[in-house]
A and B are shown apart, each in its own frame.
Chain A
Amino acid sequence: MSASDWSAVWLTARLAALTTLILLMVATPLAWRLSRARGRWRAPVEALVALPLVLPPTALGFYLLLLMSPNSMFGGWWLERTGGTLAFSFHGLLLASLVYSLPFAVQPLQNAFEAVGRGPMEAASSLRARPLDAFLTVAAPMAGRGYATAGALVFAHCLGEFGVLLMVGGNIPGRTRVISMALFEHVESLDYAAAHRLAGGLLLVSFCILLTVALLNGRFRSMRA
């Protein structure tokens, strides 16, 4: 594999790992609130969170690009604070990736928290655990399967991102070129051997991750039974 391919692999791995880490933290309070909510805000928020699942990645990327442009409020603020533009940078990729993968973190966690239900949290509360304490010691461990699923899905999903990242990152070698873009370039230039190496690697890694999730779910199921 060429040095530029290796740098794409390294960039993708970093992006996926950071996205997973940040999303699990960000999605936790959001999923928790959604799992408890009964009010009229629940449906619109759920729809908003699920939007990246159905929106064309290019459409999402387009809006993110507008958001990141130095002319926008957020993009301008970022330029002022950091001295660099958000678009076409690693941070831009990361932000796009976070938005794009949000539903893959929120939905498994929300399901897991709903499965925990109110009972154990009430029990914890009656045993003098304050809400955060009860969450960390009861709800989060009981939702362990949800965390495993969410983490694996987000990571695997990040490996395969293309459209959004292309719009926001612009395929700059060494800076914003991820595996899927490098793969696209190889196919464009008819270098099928190089394309096979990347595509095959992605296939294998993604399969292993999903297999782990399936096995984990099986183990948790039999533990509960």
Chain B
Amino acid sequence: MRLDLDLTLTRPSFRLAAQGSFALSGVTTLFGPSGSGKTTLLRLIAGFEPEARGSLKLDGEEWLGRPPYALPVGYVFQDARLFPHLSVERNLLYAWRRAPGAFSSEAGTASRRENATKQKPGIFGRFSLTGRRSQDGSPIAYEEVVARMDLGPLLKRRPETLSGGERQRVAIGRALLTRPRLMLMDEPLSALDRARKAAILPLIADLPRRFGIPVIYVTHAVEEALRLSEGLILMRDGKIFDSGPPLEVFARVPPAALGPEVESGAALEGRAAGYDAEYQILDVDLGGARLRVPVEAAPPLGARLRLRIAAADVALARRAPEEISIRNALPVRLEALEAEEGPFLEARLTLEGGGLLRARLTRLAAAEMALKEGEELFALVKAAALDSMEGP
């Protein structure tokens, strides 16, 4: 799916001006600091911002000026927005009974509304017969969504009795049941703790493949962007700042562009090249350079991995250090010293094989070592976070 934007939206204290053309496949992350306009852009795509001017095309079809109910999008709100007066099941059916092609011809006409409003398990059975795999070939069917999102045990519950994670699962399921051509998700995991996030992320990552629809996912969390997305659109001050594969974008933009919430660092891709079971150390091949990372459970050999290395966890040395507890001393080239901020600055480094690293050091260290751009150094890497064990 292709997204072409040329939009402006003016508010008293904010102006969005977004241009560009993007191929949406899999999950595309809309990334940026708070207030950069990412939620506004997402709402605009969904038709919630009728004051927007310009053009917004999906696969060449103009979407701007159409109301939300006329657009084939599923929208997952940050706060879920389940209907409090309806059970989980009726929340889902609210979407399903309004979705195009969700019912076969005989179930779909006169009795459709009545069936859906007073559903009984028996009537449900009839839904599933007609809706399991619909005539139009869309893989989105009621039972499939309930099963994928594991909503069966929740159907009879009321929204206020659900946990945050359950609420978002219902909200994702409900949005899917509108049979959208595009899913829009606005930081659906931001209110969840780490464990709940980890449980839902794979479900989201799986949506494009399982249901055949692209997803645009708003977040300001680097790990979510890396874990989920094939493409990333970076927003800043109401404009699209950069876009491309997440690793590339994170590597090339200055850390300040990612916003103050994001810890400066670098993201790298590699493969599991060996595991020392005794010391629980994983060898990661970064396409030339090798990194040793402590992990408790080893991924299969050859698995694609994404790593994040915070700039604060990288130190620089001119000679390979000896007798030191840090296990990773990677030869690097100093590309640039940048992003001065108080007593600190950041060194942008390239690894053998082209990967990028960032190191945060004091201005004093840079001055006393007389660091020069272009010189060969060793990067001492103290810690690395493994983001994904299977890759996209």
Contact = CB atoms under 8 A, between A and B. Distances in A.
A129 B46 contact: no
Contacts of A123: 75, 77, 81-83
Nearest to B98: A128
Contact of B68 (A119, A125, A141): A125
Interface in B70-99: 70, 73-75, 77, 79, 81-85, 94-95, 98-99
A126 interface: yes
A160 B83 CA distance: 38
A129 B178 CA distance: 10
A128 B73 CA distance: 9
Nearest to A138: B83
Contacts of A224: 84, 160
Contacts of A200: none
B79 A122 contact: no
Given A119-B77, A123-B77, A137-B94, A130 B83 contact: no
Contacts of B178: 126-128
B68 A120 contact: no
Interface string A100-132: 000000000000000000011011111111110
Interface in A116-162: 119-120, 122-131, 133-134, 137-138, 141-142, 144
A127 B174 contact: yes
Contact of A128 (B69, B81, B83, B84): B69
A146 to B, nearest CB: 13
A122 B175 CA distance: 12
A128 B99 contact: yes
A144 B94 CA distance: 19
A126 B68 CA distance: 5
B104 to A, nearest CB: 19
B294 to A, nearest CB: 44
A224 B159 CA distance: 11
B73 A126 contact: yes
A37 B81 CA distance: 22
Size category of the A interface is 20 to 34
B63 interface: no
Contacts of A120: 81, 83-84
A119 B84 CA distance: 12
A129 B69 contact: yes
A197 to B, nearest CB: 42
A122 B85 CA distance: 16
Nearest to A125: B68
B280 to A, nearest CB: 46
A125 B73 CA distance: 11
Nearest to B85: A141
Contact of B98 (A129, A131, A144): A129
B183 to A, nearest CB: 11
Interface in B3-59: 46-48
A82 B227 CA distance: 74
B73 A127 contact: no
A82 B79 CA distance: 56
A144 to B, nearest CB: 8
B152 interface: no
B287 interface: no
Contacts of B83: 120, 123-124, 138, 142
Contacts of A126: 46, 48, 68-69, 73-75, 175, 178
A126 B186 CA distance: 13
B68 A122 contact: yes
B67 interface: yes
B188 to A, nearest CB: 13
Nearest to B86: A141
A151 B94 CA distance: 28
Interface of A: 119-120, 122-131, 133-134, 137-138, 141-142, 144, 224
Which 4 interchain pairs have the tightest Cβ spacing? A126-B75, A123-B81, A125-B68, A128-B98
Interface of B: 46-48, 67-70, 73-75, 77, 79, 81-85, 94-95, 98-99, 160, 174-175, 178
15 contacts: A119-B77, A124-B83, A125-B48, A126-B73, A127-B94, A127-B95, A128-B69, A128-B70, A128-B95, A129-B69, A129-B94, A131-B69, A134-B69, A138-B83, A138-B85
